[in-house]
Structure 1
């Protein structure tokens, strides 16, 4: 039996680097075990393989030496084909969808089991001979190790493997790395058979198959009651009422809205960026009122943008008489954020405040009065910050209020500063790795703001995702904690992940599905949904529409819900706060902890489910619509967006709060910070 590793100084360093943070005794045990295995190492020569095509185990160093000794790309390719001929074929019973490796251009299957000594025995196969050769490298190097040893092999050590340019094209590199990740996932399952995955929803052209109660709750309303749809369409058309809703709505609400949208064109579901734009289009098309299904800052933004567009006569309604809060937006209303901006203004150097769109008009207006401000979204924050650094010499950028997004932004820019200049220029043509590195110390972010939902995607959930679904397509909203963000970035590097906005996530899934539909083979894409679970309705509609249009019944998509055991659910079923009362989020919404075991969530919400968004009920929309144009309309005053009497800089607060939004719109149109904003930044620095 042979080992994977040779104790060269360089490789020893990589092993110790991978083991950093582990207890010293554990590292010593690993070193001792691997050293013992090295004594049984046998070198398989190229000539021996050519003469007797029997796949033998070997160390990574041995395989690398063979490939390098083979000469150029043609010779290495020939050697890989010899490896392929020596690799035992998997039986048809193991060439299943469950054993498929995602992210490979050809079909690849990887299996793993434990032998009598507790070591991993890998099997692999492919319908491409060259890919089979790459799979054979994996099988030769990793078989014979324990599951723990497989997981401790540094990825960068396997990535090179002596394959060289001309053999590992970019697509083959990604494919090989995805095979490695598939082997790692299988090794983790062998190491901890009790560690299960998360609930998931399988989407085919004509069916939904949920696994787990949380997935069942999401799927329950995706085929809505026809009577409810008919009633909503009728009243919306009668009252000329448009509807703009966020992706994070309750599945019941989104299911009815999606069905109604086919018969009433003025229904729009999206992320927060374009909700106000859609409302303007509805007003221009003749809608007399717009219902906003979201949190309060969204209805405020819709009201303000309609006013800016000259549609002051179009009414705007929220879906609750109570405040529909947001933990992130409220973080920016706190004294700490005021102090953060005051300190920025006191620097006396050029500074620009990049504020997340998910904040109130009041926050935007008051912030702009202190530091020149432009809004951003999770999809354009990187470009906004890079453009500020490129366009304004020595500018300091102050991002807020989302701490996780700020950290993730700093992490991404730090990684960008280590890339080749051509890759940096592909993201932003005015930058090099050196310019990004020089700008990074001038990036600041607020340290005390987070979204209650995205906070759930922390270390515990991330480790479970890595263990059970590390070889899946991984998505992460820019607001998630750093652990989930880093995992999605790793996947992105091998073509298997995305980080960004809800729309970025939806586009990524659609793009991967489109790639699968171009291949004439059965496919099953598994996607980890690293954002609010309300996204599932948009994903289902998109996926089923694409599958039906393509006429494919042999392709489906599994959406995995990475729920947390510490998730929360709305309700009052026994509080855990002081005096037995349920704990409350800012804004007063009562919460109770999710179940301690199992999925950690309930049919009422929790996990990756925003309790504030779920305050938008279908019954409220129906009631608001029915009261418009009747004496009962007077009862809707509490449903109007919050109004402000304050004035900022001689303007109404709403007008002042719109200016950072308009700066962002100008940036999106021209790909430059507007001249007025730049002039403001420079002028204030000279005061």
Structure 2
């Protein structure tokens, strides 16, 4: 996978324990690349094979280094496949039990095949009862209700929503950045009510943006009387985060870049202390780079996701090794010197995690390295450093994506479309490095692509792999209705989150109210969101925010507008 041409690779181990490789391709150039690799590694020991890294190939300067879809990827991807086959043969020779494969869903133009009980649970709701769908559509049409839902909602809910969308267009499933914009469009089309399926801060964002767009009379509803919290939102309302903001407020020319996965109260309190703009996983790097370009002596304080903060720093440190021309393609106002100068002034909170993405740690990474290193790898920006590094390496050789849920969906669609355009039989395997609820939208998008090209004749299979870790089992509180641990021998296994839990939220919800949240008005909490919307539209931070950064004493007071 990942090569622009078709490549076939065979690996065996001879009686002396040395690796024997052969390869072929339907491309003369690619066959030549493979021949070079085989000439070097055929007859080598397993240790010698595994010692050759993809970075070693980049020094050969063949193809177009740095180009995501260039011939040089053949060197990288065939080498990674050699590594995978070598590890499997060594384990077989040593009599080691093979790794248990992760559960997965295989999508074809004709249907879906689930591998493993976890995948079966995900697939169960992809084809809902039509009577339930019809009942829902009738209510939505009668009451003029629009629905915005997050990619991470329960598969049962998403399955019905995807089916209902064919009959009622005012249903949208997306990442959190797009949900509020979709609600505005629904209001423009005559919807009198918007139902938000997600955690509480998503409802707050929708309410704030509808008000700003002039739709104060459109009702916004969420689907539970209980508060639906999230570990990141909890972290941002903790005393330690308040201390972090206090430190930011004492630093000159500071900007607080707060992840959108926080409550309106957090945004309001923070903006009273230090100028604040919200961000999402898809725009956080550009937001930070743009802020430094507009205020050169700026101090940026990012929070509350510690993994994302660390990953942002890694991305910027890697940029210092790029050419000025490559950096300018990412942001035209920066070069290596400017990136080096901003790094000491980039701060991130050290104690906030999404409990779902926290699970993509060393155990999951080790199994991916052993079994799926030659698959397409997707990772959310919130994953731990091990998974982030693995995905970034895959991205460099055209085999991965790191970003938001929408970035992940777009990457999968793009790779499937490329396979369809080649019109040859192919099996594409994607490791899903984010919450498993994403699979509903992925399946719908992939099936749509495969169905539209069904007459082309090529047999394309798309496999979505769920990296489920044993650490993904979390205990539930005694107040959780209908959920209880399972005893297996002397070990008590608590409930696995995923189907019933949302974007890093506990099954039972319950964000604690923070006593440190003191603010003049909740309207202040909307301002960081509006600042982000201005940035999304103009690619510049608003003058009002710049004024607040350069004049800290004016924050929250009447200032120039833009």
When normalised by structure 1's length, the TM-score is 0.74
Match of 2:189 in 1: 285
- 8 Å CA contact 2:151, 2:175 repeated in 1: yes
Verify: 1:199 aligned to 2:112, yes or no: no
Match of 2:551 in 1: 683
Structure 2 distance, partners of 1:394, 1:484, is: 33
- 8 Å CA contact 2:205, 2:529 repeated in 1: no
* 2:501 counterpart (603, 611, 615): 611
Verify: 1:504 aligned to 2:504, yes or no: no
* 2:346 counterpart (427, 435, 443): 443
Shift of 1:672: 0.8
Structure 2 counterparts to residues 262-661 of structure 1, below 5 A: 262-347=166-251, 349-551=252-454, 552=456, 554-568=459-473, 582-584=475-477, 605-606=496-497, 611-612=501-502, 648-649=519-520, 652-653=521-522, 655-661=523-529
Match of 1:121 in 2: 20
Match of 1:672 in 2: 540
Shift of 1:146: 3.2
Shift of 1:257: 0.3
| SS of structure 1 residue aligned to 2:215 | coil
- In structure 2, the CA distance between the partners of 1:149 and 1:590, relative to structure 1 (3 Å rule), is farther
- 8 Å CA contact 1:376, 1:664 repeated in 2: yes
Shift of 1:155: 2.8
Shift of 1:465: 0.8
| SS of structure 2 residue aligned to 1:198 | coil
Structure 2 counterparts to residues 208-223 of structure 1, below 5 A: 208-223=112-127
Structure 1: gaps spanning 5 or more residues: 1-101, 570-581, 618-641
- 8 Å CA contact 1:200, 1:210 repeated in 2: yes
Match of 2:49 in 1: 150
Shift of 1:157: 2.7
Match of 1:64 in 2: none
- In structure 2, the CA distance between the partners of 1:459 and 1:169, relative to structure 1 (3 Å rule), is closer
Shift of 1:154: 3.1
| SS of structure 2 residue aligned to 1:524 | strand
* Residue deviations 1:58-82 (CA, integer Å, cap 9, x gap): xxxxxxxxxxxxxxxxxxxxxxxxx
Shift of 1:591: 7.9
Verify: 1:249 aligned to 2:147, yes or no: no
- 8 Å CA contact 2:435, 2:503 repeated in 1: no
Shift of 1:522: 1.1
Shift of 1:548: 1.3
- 8 Å CA contact 2:257, 2:277 repeated in 1: yes
* Residue deviations 1:133-163 (CA, integer Å, cap 9, x gap): 2111111222223333322223333444585
| SS of structure 1 residue aligned to 2:105 | strand
* 1:230 counterpart (131, 134, 138): 134
Structure 2 distance, partners of 1:306, 1:590, is: 36
- 8 Å CA contact 1:304, 1:658 repeated in 2: yes
- In structure 2, the CA distance between the partners of 1:376 and 1:531, relative to structure 1 (3 Å rule), is same
* Residue deviations 1:522-542 (CA, integer Å, cap 9, x gap): 121111111010110111111
Structure 2 distance, partners of 1:435, 1:444, is: 16
- In structure 2, the CA distance between the partners of 1:660 and 1:591, relative to structure 1 (3 Å rule), is farther
* 2:37 counterpart (128, 135, 138): 138
Structure 2 distance, partners of 1:256, 1:614, is: 22
User: Which entry has the higher C-alpha Rg, 1 or 2?
Assistant: 1
Structure 1 distance, partners of 2:113, 2:312, is: 37
| SS of structure 2 residue aligned to 1:353 | strand
Shift of 1:492: 0.7
* 2:531 counterpart (663, 668, 677): 663
Structure 2 distance, partners of 1:215, 1:342, is: 45
* 2:74 counterpart (133, 151, 175): 175
* Residue deviations 1:496-548 (CA, integer Å, cap 9, x gap): 11110000111111111111111121121111111010110111111111111
- 8 Å CA contact 1:367, 1:373 repeated in 2: yes
Shift of 1:114: 1.6
Structure with larger RCO (C-alpha < 8 A, sep 6+): 2
Structure 2: gaps spanning 5 or more residues: 93-97, 508-512, 556-562
- 8 Å CA contact 2:122, 2:155 repeated in 1: yes
- 8 Å CA contact 1:402, 1:449 repeated in 2: yes
- In structure 2, the CA distance between the partners of 1:511 and 1:685, relative to structure 1 (3 Å rule), is farther
Match of 2:95 in 1: none
Shift of 1:252: 1.1
- In structure 2, the CA distance between the partners of 1:677 and 1:474, relative to structure 1 (3 Å rule), is same
* 2:87 counterpart (163, 188, 195): 188
- 8 Å CA contact 2:230, 2:505 repeated in 1: no
Structure 2 distance, partners of 1:275, 1:247, is: 10
Aligned Cα root-mean-square deviation (Å): 2.9
